[in-house]
């Protein structure tokens, strides 16, 4: 928030924003999104603010960027950009809040923080569709997934909001991101098998990729009349990527330590694709209060193309003491296309002043096509001309849903109750056209109940219960029965016989606020149970094994494919208590939680379960002394308990924590100092991964120019040169520890200039 001028901000609100359709009908469709709303003060809706910065440091490190925001009545234009090679892969959240969350004169500024949904509201994989998109200024439209390693990033974003007339409101955005990533990874993976025949796989890998991403989003709202409105939310993204990787890996028996296979593999790939989607929502209120109708139409189009080269040398230890050598030189091309069309209708009818009935229908159809062709290198032709039918496949599939439902809603001064049930008929059909033809056709029928109860004990104490059911169809990648040998020691394929998942999700949340004492408490319990969970069946080859299509799985290799299993569940609970510490003008937040997940899997045709328990807790002490002095001290710790139903000798307990101190101080003459110290500890992971390290970043600067709008700052990143990146990943079939390349110590000198220019208020027309 620090980039927002304090004299401009009137109030800040954080809330769960319902979808456009849910806001209109009053029936929550489960598509809420966490949103921040910032309202500007009266008379401060005409001007500009922002900042620009540029810095250069040791090892040719650089960082530049900024944001500028233009206000002119209801019109707001924000431009944001960054360019750096110091691993800042996304815009800072305070910059995004300034660009997206700046409302004018009591109007909501918006800025959704629920991920990249902007304009969603369609799709069939979660039971047939949603209830209208969120629009063009979601923060997710300006964010990309964080990559490990070291990334150089160039990015720019543009956000536009305006009222074109008293009946037309528009919000649009454009985003471009170029990311060049370099990563080095060391991992150790222990795979489980019955009879003590597990395997340990050690790998060193290097990779690089260059990714370009364009996104454009629009939200156009037209108030046709007093009772009718139309909302259109189109979006498009275009992406291309060039990547290369080298892998040196070896597998050994977990019992004896004897090496049984090794690989030296290089992959290169070029891929590109686009995604287009749109949602059109019509809403109408009849003369009778509470009687409404809304109609939504959605479309999603996807296309992706990938060309790859694989060169691999693989050695396998034979029991007779003579190793075998397998060389692979292949070129592959994969084309995937899909389109989704959906429509939904919701009609509400009042039963009384306090109750309402909703009738709903939602239909969707998704068509997908995937074609993979793999060619072996032919010495005679000196080219990739020999079609490998085992690694090639052509597959089409269609998933359609029809869902109709009835819901009842009762309101009172103490809250509301909403309950209903949907009936969904889904059809999943697939046709393999190459290398051999076959088809599958499955029909699923589900009753899908839902309930939402909100009870207000007082104006500041609230309890909410929510229950929902959903379905999830397998993707075309999971259905396509083609082998993937990107890593020849870990072969995978799809499974055309997959069924859709069916999940029950329950939540109970309580919050309480004592305004007079500035004390707040909130907590929650969440549970998910999934039938026909899509998980993995793994074959760990302790001897040469022939798979379907005559594929030989050599001793020391593994093969996995998705299957449906029962028994998945996830349970979690959390709490947070916030209270003031008046003596030091600070706030204390205490938090804690527990999490339990149970994931099924198949290992050599034996069902196994991974049971993961986690207990976490923490505290944050943050000051509000003044604008020139603030600090925070925080601690978070997590204790993990992992239990497996097969090979219990692989059970483990491990602990991690992070303790952090941050200080921001500005002297009367504009001298600034900003130490940031964080200690991270891992224990229980094993040799090479148990460690404690401290990341100490330090910044010192001097405010300059009129009104101290400029600053010269020296930043030292990782002063102690101890930075590390360690993680543990546990699945139903293996446990894996990973160490990844990180940015090391550097010094940087940066100049920053803050823009402030506000004139009188613009009169409303």
pLDDT (tens digit per residue) in 697-712: 999 999 999 989 999 9
H or E segment at 5? none
Whether the CB-CB separation of 743 and 721 falls below 8 Å is answered with: no
Mean pLDDT of 363-385: 96
Judge whether residue 599 has pLDDT over 90. Answer: yes
H or E segment at 93? helix 93-100
Whether the CB-CB separation of 673 and 700 falls below 8 Å is answered with: yes
Q: How far apart are CA 407 and CA 324, in angstroms?
A: 65
Q: Which among 24, 22, 408 has a CA at the least distance from the CA of 227?
A: 24
- Cα-based distances in Å from 531 to 493, 534, 599: 22, 9, 12
Judge whether residue 112 has pLDDT over 70. Answer: no
Q: Which is higher by pLDDT, 208 or 119?
A: 208
Judge whether residue 64 has pLDDT over 50. Answer: yes
Q: Which is higher by pLDDT, 459 or 37?
A: 459
pLDDT (tens digit per residue) in 309-328: 999 999 998 766 667 889 99
Residue 44 confidence (pLDDT): 61
Mean pLDDT of 120-145: 55
Percent of the chain residues past pLDDT 70, beyond the cut: 87
Q: How far apart are CA 103 and CA 177, in angstroms?
A: 26
Counting every residue written for the chain, the total comes to 765
Q: Which among 650, 630, 572, 643 has a CA at the least distance from the CA of 188?
A: 650
Of the listed ranges 26-40, 145-159, 231-245, 246-260, the one predicted with least confidence: 26-40
Q: How far apart are CA 80 and CA 88, in angstroms?
A: 14
- Enter the tokens of residue 150: 């070291």
Domain ranges of the chain: 9-541+551-758
Whether the CB-CB separation of 448 and 490 falls below 8 Å is answered with: no
CATH number (1.10.1740, 2.40.170, 1.10.3470, 2.160.20) of 9-541+551-758 reads: 2.40.170
Judge whether residue 6 has pLDDT over 90. Answer: no
Percent of the chain residues past pLDDT 90, beyond the cut: 74
Q: Is the pTM of this model over 0.75?
A: yes
Judge whether residue 391 has pLDDT over 80. Answer: yes
What is the 3 state secondary structure string of 578-629? EEEEHHHCEEEEEEEEEEEEEEEEEECCEEEEEEEEEEEEEEEEEECCECCE
Phi, psi at residue 61, to the nearest 5°?
Answer: -75, 140
* Tally of CA atoms within 13 A in the half-sphere of 163 that contains its CB: 15
**What would you measure as the largest C-alpha separation in the chain, in angstroms?**
89
Residue 646 confidence (pLDDT): 85
H or E segment at 224? none
Q: Which is higher by pLDDT, 498 or 40?
A: 498
Whether the CB-CB separation of 578 and 619 falls below 8 Å is answered with: no
Residue 195 confidence (pLDDT): 64
Q: How far apart are CA 714 and CA 82, in angstroms?
A: 19
Q: How far apart are CA 156 and CA 493, in angstroms?
A: 38
Of the listed ranges 10-19, 81-90, 246-255, 617-626, the one predicted with least confidence: 10-19
* Tally of CA atoms within 13 A in the half-sphere of 664 that contains its CB: 10
Judge whether residue 125 has pLDDT over 60. Answer: no
Mean pLDDT value across the chain = 89
Residue 753 confidence (pLDDT): 97
**Which residues partner with 120 through β-bridges?**
none
Q: How far apart are CA 741 and CA 720, in angstroms?
A: 17
Residue 718 confidence (pLDDT): 97
- Enter the tokens of residue 196: 């003590």
Judge whether residue 29 has pLDDT over 60. Answer: no
CB atoms within 10 A of CB 721: 11
Q: Which among 315, 403, 396 has a CA at the least distance from the CA of 362?
A: 403
Judge whether residue 425 has pLDDT over 80. Answer: yes
Q: Which among 28, 86, 21 has a CA at the least distance from the CA of 55?
A: 86
Mean pLDDT of 181-207: 89
Q: How far apart are CA 725 and CA 185, in angstroms?
A: 10
- Counting other chains too, the contacts that 742-745 makes at CB distance below 8 Å and 24 or more residues apart are 742/150, 743/86, 743/87, 743/150, 743/717, 743/718, 744/718, 745/716, 745/717, 745/718, 745/719, 745/720, 745/721
Strands (E), 351-460: 355-378, 383-387, 393-412, 415-434, 438-458
Judge whether residue 118 has pLDDT over 80. Answer: no
Judge whether residue 592 has pLDDT over 50. Answer: yes
Select the highest-mean-pLDDT range: 69-83, 90-104, 119-133, 537-551: 69-83
**Which residues partner with 212 through β-bridges?**
178, 240
H or E segment at 239? strand 228-253
- Enter the tokens of residue 412: 């009172």
Q: How far apart are CA 119 and CA 276, in angstroms?
A: 11
Q: How far apart are CA 361 and CA 96, in angstroms?
A: 37
Which residue is listed with tokens 């234009």? 77
């Amino acid at each position: 928030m620090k980039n927002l001028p304090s004299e401009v901000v009137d109030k800040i609100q954080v809330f769960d924003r319902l979808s456009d359709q849910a806001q209109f009908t009053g029936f929550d469709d489960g598509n809420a999104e966490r949103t921040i709303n910032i309202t500007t003060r009266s008379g401060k809706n005409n001007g500009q603010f922002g900042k620009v910065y540029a810095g250069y440091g040791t090892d040719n490190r650089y960082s530049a960027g900024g944001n500028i925001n233009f206000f002119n009545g209801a019109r707001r234009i924000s431009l944001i950009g960054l360019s750096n090679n110091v691993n800042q892969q996304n815009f800072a959240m305070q910059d995004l809040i300034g660009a997206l969350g700046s409302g004018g004169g009591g109007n909501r500024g918006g800025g959704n923080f629920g991920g990249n949904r902007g304009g969603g509201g369609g799709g069939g994989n979660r039971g047939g569709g949603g209830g209208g998109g969120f629009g063009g200024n979601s923060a997710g439209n300006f964010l990309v997934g964080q990559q490990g390693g070291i990334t150089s990033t160039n990015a720019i974003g543009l956000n536009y909001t305006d009222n074109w007339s008293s009946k037309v409101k528009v919000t649009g955005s454009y985003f471009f991101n170029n990311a060049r990533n370099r990563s080095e990874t060391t991992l150790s993976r222990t795979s489980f098998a019955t009879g003590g025949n597990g395997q340990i796989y050690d790998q060193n890998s290097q990779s690089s990729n260059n990714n370009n991403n364009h996104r454009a989003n629009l939200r156009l709202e037209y108030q046709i009349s007093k009772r009718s409105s139309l909302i259109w939310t189109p979006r498009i993204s275009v992406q291309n990527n060039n990547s290369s990787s080298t892998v040196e890996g070896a597998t050994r028996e977990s019992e004896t330590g004897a090496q049984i296979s090794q690989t030296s593999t290089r992959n290169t790939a070029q891929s590109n694709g686009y995604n287009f989607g749109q949602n059109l929502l019509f809403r109408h209120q009849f003369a009778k209060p509470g009687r409404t109708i809304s109609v939504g139409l959605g479309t999603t189009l996807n296309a992706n193309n990938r060309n790859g080269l694989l060169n691999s040398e693989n050695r396998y230890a034979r029991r007779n003491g003579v190793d075998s050598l397998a060389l692979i030189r292949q070129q592959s091309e994969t084309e995937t296309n899909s389109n989704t069309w959906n429509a939904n209708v919701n009609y509400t009818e009042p039963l009384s002043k306090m109750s309402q009935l909703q009738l709903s229908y939602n239909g969707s159809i998704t068509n997908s096509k995937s074609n993979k062709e793999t060619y072996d290198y032919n010495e005679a032709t000196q080219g990739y001309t020999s079609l490998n039918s085992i690694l090639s496949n052509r597959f089409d599939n269609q998933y359609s849903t029809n869902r109709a439902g009835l819901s009842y809603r009762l309101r009172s001064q103490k809250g509301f109750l909403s309950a209903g049930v949907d009936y969904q008929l889904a059809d999943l059909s697939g046709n393999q056209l190459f290398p051999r033809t076959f088809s599958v056709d499955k029909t699923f029928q589900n009753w899908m109940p839902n309930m939402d109860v909100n009870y207000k004990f007082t104006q500041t104490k609230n309890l909410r219960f929510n229950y929902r059911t959903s379905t999830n169809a397998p993707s075309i990648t999971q259905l396509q029965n083609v082998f993937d040998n990107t890593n020849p020691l870990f072969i995978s394929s799809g499974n055309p016989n997959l069924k859709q998942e069916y999940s029950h999700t329950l939540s109970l949340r309580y919050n309480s606020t004592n305004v007079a004492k500035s004390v707040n408490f909130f907590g929650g319990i969440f549970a998910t149970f999934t039938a026909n969970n899509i998980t993995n069946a793994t074959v760990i080859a302790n001897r040469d094994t022939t798979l379907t299509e005559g594929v030989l799985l050599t001793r020391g290799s593994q093969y996995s494919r998705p299957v449906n299993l029962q028994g998945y569940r996830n349970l979690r609970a959390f709490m947070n208590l916030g209270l003031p510490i008046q003596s030091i003008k600070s706030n204390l937040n205490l938090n804690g939680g527990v999490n339990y997940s149970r994931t099924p899997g198949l290992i050599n045709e034996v069902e196994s379960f991974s049971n993961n328990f986690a207990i976490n807790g923490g505290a944050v002490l943050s000051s509000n002394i003044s604008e020139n002095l603030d600090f925070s001290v925080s601690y978070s710790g997590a204790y993990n308990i992992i239990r497996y139903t097969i090979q219990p000798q692989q059970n483990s307990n491990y602990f991690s924590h992070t303790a952090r101190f941050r200080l921001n101080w500005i002297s009367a003459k504009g001298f600034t100092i900003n130490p940031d110290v964080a200690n991270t500890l891992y224990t229980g992971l094993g040799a090479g991964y148990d460690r404690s390290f401290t990341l100490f970043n330090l910044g010192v600067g001097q405010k300059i120019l009129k009104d101290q709008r400029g600053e010269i700052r020296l930043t030292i990143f990782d002063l102690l040169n101890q930075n590390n990146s360690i993680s543990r990943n546990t699945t139903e079939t293996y446990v894996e520890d990973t160490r990844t390349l990180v940015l090391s110590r550097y010094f940087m000198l940066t100049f920053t200039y803050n823009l402030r220019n506000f004139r009188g208020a613009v009169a409303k027309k």
